[in-house]
């Protein structure tokens, strides 16, 4: 090789490198679980890169259980720019400086996103993420069992549900009509959030003061205990998370189940379900003056505190939460945008769920937005389990959680 051609090659390589230097790379952390599937996210990211050739996105998928740990441990190094967060993390992450605050959305956009989803990203007046995965719990029921028991409609109140369950049990249609996710895990807090709100209770007031001893909270806990005692609830619920609730329900071993959106498509999936065509979905019952209540399971996308590519990260987040992306996968997750619920394609893809969802989202309840949420939630789970196992009365347990919450709130 002559000296000249060597020089030419070096120049060419330098030019190519300079051209590549224009593209920036951002890293994004997602979960591999319910909601949008891996291939949905990969496909959406590919479309994003086609529209933004200057931004290169690396994707990482972890199970939900590892998400929080990954976000916390990577925050300082900025190993990820975009992270999939969770509603209950918002306050804690904001306070501890784990995620960055994000620019406000246009008023028209704000109006079009479900209020509960949007508020789960806000802490002390600032937004720390963009709602992305939209989910809440619904009441799923087995149409065939209800019919056999002589009920034309799913129950509208929890009292009615217990009465129907009693008939179903007496007629021996299933051994335990209700199944729940009451394992000592976040899913128990979710179920309790639903019940306490449905019975008119609340765990914290608007200013973040604990109100655990309110009457509705006790009613909810007593309802849980009674359903176990009367044999209406599957006792294995105490070690079930959502996945076991799902498998019990699709085996046809339960008449009622509280679960996230994915339960419906699981029930219709002939490869695993024994109850294809029998899954009904309804508004979660209320009690007294409360028509319904559900828990917000939505998860926002946030920007990690250590990110050096905030602008590109935000562009990517806006794309992934845009209507274009969100209307493509209504079977896996429903959009955060209200206007998409009138979209023909969205409606047609999952009509039964979309119909209920539209109404159910109006009764969205957030888990407490307090920075000490994790500790509070763990304590609540333990106390509830003690009550369910008959080791404590509901009064005693709620008083203890209240004391704990007060202590946590006063801690500097």
Partner 1 sequence: MELRRQGLSEQSFAFLILLPAAVVIFGVVLFPLVTTFIYSLQNMELISAEKGKFLGLLNYLRVLRSDWFWQALGRTMYFTVVSLTVETVLGLLIALLLNTRFHGVGLLRVLIIIPWATPGIVTASIWKWIYNPEYGVLNAVLTRLHILGQYRAWLSDPFLAMNMVIVADVWKMTPFAVIFFLAALQFINKSLYEAATVDGAGVFSRFWHITLPYLVPTMAVVVVMRTMEKFKAFDVFYVMTRGGPANGTKVLVYEAYLKAFSNLQYSISSTLSYLIAVLVLAFTIAYVRLLKRGEASDS
Question: Which CB, 56 or 60, lies closer to partner 1?
Answer: 60
Q: Is 409 exposed, middle or buried (0-12, 13-18, 19+ CB in 10 A)?
A: middle
Among 111, 251, 272, 308, binds partner 1 (CB under 8 A): 251
State how far the alpha carbon of 109 is from the alpha carbons of 51, 105, 221, 376, 396, in Å: 22, 6, 38, 33, 45
**Which span sits near partner 1 by CB under 8 A: 107-115, 201-209, 211-219, 366-374?**
366-374
Question: Which CB, 65 or 359, lies closer to partner 1?
Answer: 65
Among 38, 39, 54, 69, binds partner 1 (CB under 8 A): 69
Q: Does 229 help bind partner 1 (rule: CB under 8 A)?
A: no
Among 40, 68, 191, 246, binds partner 1 (CB under 8 A): 68
Q: Is 298 exposed, middle or buried (0-12, 13-18, 19+ CB in 10 A)?
A: buried
Among 239, 324, 342, 345, binds partner 1 (CB under 8 A): 239
Q: Which of residues 86-115 bind partner 1 (CB under 8 A)?
A: 92, 95-98
**Cβ–Cβ contacts within 10 Å for residue 231, how many?**
15
Among the listed residues 52, 111, 78, 29, the one whose alpha carbon sits nearest the alpha carbon of residue 339: 111
Q: How far is the CB of 101 from partner 1 (least distance, A)?
A: 16
Largest distance between two CA atoms of the chain: 94
> Which H or E run contains 408?
helix 394-410
Q: E strands of 103-187, at which residues? A: 122-123, 126-127, 130-133, 138-142, 178-179
Q: Does 344 help bind partner 1 (rule: CB under 8 A)?
A: no
CA distance 200 to 176: 26
Which residue reads 């957030």 in tokens? 366
- Residue 12 makes CB contacts below 8 A (sequence gap 6+) with none
**Which span sits near partner 1 by CB under 8 A: 9-17, 147-155, 236-244, 281-289?**
236-244
Q: How far is the CB of 90 from partner 1 (least distance, A)?
A: 12
Q: Does 247 help bind partner 1 (rule: CB under 8 A)?
A: yes
**Cβ–Cβ contacts within 10 Å for residue 285, how many?**
23
**Which span sits near partner 1 by CB under 8 A: 111-119, 270-278, 282-290, 377-385?**
377-385
Strand partners, 310: none
**Terminal alpha carbon distance of the chain:** 71
Strand partners, 25: 56
**Which span sits near partner 1 by CB under 8 A: 51-59, 65-73, 105-113, 356-364?**
65-73
Give Cα 412 to chain centroid, integer Å: 30
Q: Does 382 help bind partner 1 (rule: CB under 8 A)?
A: yes
Question: Which CB, 47 or 375, lies closer to partner 1?
Answer: 375
Q: Does 242 help bind partner 1 (rule: CB under 8 A)?
A: no
Q: How far is the CB of 376 from partner 1 (least distance, A)?
A: 10
Q: Does 238 help bind partner 1 (rule: CB under 8 A)?
A: yes
Q: What's the token pair of residue 197? A: 């709100």
Q: Does 72 help bind partner 1 (rule: CB under 8 A)?
A: yes
Q: What's the token pair of residue 195? A: 């019940």
Q: Does 391 help bind partner 1 (rule: CB under 8 A)?
A: yes
CA distance 184 to 181: 9
Question: Which CB, 234 or 326, lies closer to partner 1?
Answer: 234
Question: Which CB, 261 or 381, lies closer to partner 1?
Answer: 381
Q: How far is the CB of 408 from partner 1 (least distance, A)?
A: 10
Q: Which of residues 170-199 bind partner 1 (CB under 8 A)?
A: 183-185
Site for partner 1, rule CB under 8 A: 68-69, 72-73, 92, 95-98, 183-185, 235-236, 238-239, 244, 247-248, 251, 253, 371-372, 374-375, 378, 381-382, 385-386, 389, 391, 411-412
């Amino acid at each position: 090789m002559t000296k000249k051609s060597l020089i030419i090659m070096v120049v060419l390589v330098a030019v190519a490198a300079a051209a590549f230097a224009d593209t920036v790379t951002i890293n994004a952390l997602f979960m591999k679980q319910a909601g949008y599937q891996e291939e949905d996210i990969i496909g959406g990211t590919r479309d994003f890169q086609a529209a933004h050739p200057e931004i290169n996105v690396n994707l990482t998928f972890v199970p939900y259980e590892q998400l929080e740990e990954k976000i916390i441990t990577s925050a300082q190094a900025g190993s990820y720019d975009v992270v999939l967060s969770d509603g209950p993390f918002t306050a804690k992450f904001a306070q501890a400086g784990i995620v960055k605050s994000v620019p406000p959305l246009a008023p028209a956009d704000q109006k079009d996103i479900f209020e509960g989803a949007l508020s789960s990203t806000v802490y002390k007046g600032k937004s720390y993420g963009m709602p992305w995965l939209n989910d809440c719990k619904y009441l799923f029921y087995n149409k065939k069992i209800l019919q056999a028991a002589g009920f034309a409609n799913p129950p509208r109140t929890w009292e009615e549900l217990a009465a129907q369950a009693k008939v179903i049990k007496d007629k021996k249609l299933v051994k335990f009509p209700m199944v729940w996710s009451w394992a000592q895990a976040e899913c128990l807090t979710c179920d309790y959030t639903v019940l306490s709100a449905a019975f008119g209770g609340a765990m914290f007031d608007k200013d973040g003061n604990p109100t655990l001893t309110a009457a509705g909270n006790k009613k909810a806990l007593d309802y849980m205990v009674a359903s176990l005692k009367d044999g209406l609830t599957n006792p294995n619920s105490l070690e079930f998370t959502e996945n076991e609730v799902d498998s019990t329900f699709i085996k046809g071993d339960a008449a009622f189940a509280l679960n996230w959106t994915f339960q419906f498509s699981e029930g219709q999936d002939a490869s695993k379900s024994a109850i294809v065509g029998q899954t009904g979905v309804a508004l979660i019952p209320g009690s007294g003056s409360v028509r319904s209540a559900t828990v917000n399971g939505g998860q926002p996308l946030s920007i990690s505190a250590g990110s050096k590519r905030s602008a590109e990260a935000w562009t990517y987040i806006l794309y992934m939460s845009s209507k274009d992306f969100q209307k493509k996968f209504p079977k896996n997750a429903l959009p955060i945008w209200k206007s998409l619920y009138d979209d023909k394609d969205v409606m047609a893809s999952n009509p039964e769920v979309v119909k209920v969802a539209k109404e159910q989202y109006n009764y969205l309840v957030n888990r407490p937005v307090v920075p000490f949420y994790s500790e509070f939630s763990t304590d609540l789970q333990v106390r509830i389990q003690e009550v369910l196992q008959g080791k404590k009365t509901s009064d005693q347990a709620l008083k203890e959680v209240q004391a704990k919450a007060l202590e946590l709130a006063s801690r500097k």
